[in-house]
Structures are given as structure tokens and as C-alpha cells.
Copies of this chain bind each other. A is one copy, B any other.
Amino acid sequence: MNTLSVDSLKLDSQLCFKLYAASRAVIRAYKPMLDQLGLTYPQYLAMLVLWEWQEAAPEQPTVKALGERLALDSGTLTPLLKRLEQLQLVQRQRSVRDEREVHLSLSPAGAALRDQVGPLKARLLCDSGVDLNRLNELRDGLDHLLGQIKALS
């Protein structure tokens, strides 16, 4: 049932647009920092996952595992990872046990790059003067929305 008013449709449009705009605005805000690292935003997110993985799990992730984490498929990741390989940050190697899989590992330079991120990001966050509590709320709101969308499919 649940008839929807004109207002809720407008709210919906606003949210769509703001989500789209905010996502791009954050990417723009990260640009100066990422330029210093020589990474694009999606490349940076991939590196975040690889850095995190190195800490938590013993085995290296496959392209598929990275794709699940980022909600991206091989059509996006394969060329992105090839560029990270060109930059000498990541190594890609076919699995011996299952030759369909490609395992990803950090090169020394890729692992070392992590240390440069902290200070740069701290400055970025500082400069922006954001309210951490608000960020927390926003994150939870996005989490909930993501959950609802996932429940659709």
C-alpha cells in the first residue's frame, strides 16, 4: 500500500542529486592530496583495501575479492589494477592452484605509500573543520540506505 506524496518524491530527487553531488565533492576535496600520492580516487580506494587486507588476512586477495569489497567488476578493476602495476605499487599474479584467479599483492613501494597517507589526510580533515559526530551520523545514515538498497535485489 503506502501511497507516497508529492513531497516524498521531491525529497527523493533531492537526495539522489545531493548524494551524487556530495560524492563528487568529496572526490574533488581529496584531489590535492591524491595528486601528491599520484593516485586517482578509485585507485586510492583500491589501495585502502589492499593495505587493510595486508593487516588482517594472511593470503592476498583476488580481483574478485577486491571487487566485492568495492562493488566494482573486472571491467573497471582490470585496467585500474594494470595502472597500479605500471606505477609499481601492486603486483598481479595468476593463481597456480586455480588459473582463473588473479592474486593481488603490494610491492614494497605500494606498502610504503601507506605511511604518506596519514599526515596528508589529517591535514585535509583538519582544514575542513568537519564535525566528527556529524560524520558518524552521516556514515550510519549511508549504511542504512545501502542496506535498504541491497535488500531490493
Which chain A residues numbered 1 to 54 have a C-beta less than 8 Å away from chain B? 2-4, 8-9, 11-30, 41, 45, 48
- The answer to the question of A132 belonging to the interface, with a C-beta cut-off of 8 Å to chain B, is yes
Number of identical monomers bound together in the oligomeric complex = 2
- The answer to the question of A83 belonging to the interface, with a C-beta cut-off of 8 Å to chain B, is no
Check if B152 sits within 8 Å of A13, measured CB to CB.
no
Q: Report how many residues on chain A are interfacial, defined by Cβ distance under 8 Å.
A: 57
- The answer to the question of A86 belonging to the interface, with a C-beta cut-off of 8 Å to chain B, is no
Which residues of chain B have C-beta atoms less than 8 A from A9's C-beta?
Answer: 118, 121-122, 125
Q: Which 6 A-B pairs have the closest CB atoms?
A: A23-B23, A138-B141, A18-B142, A25-B149, A22-B142, A4-B122
Q: Which residues of A contact B (CB under 8 A)?
A: 2-4, 8-9, 11-30, 41, 45, 48, 70-71, 118, 121-122, 125-130, 132, 134-139, 141-146, 148-152
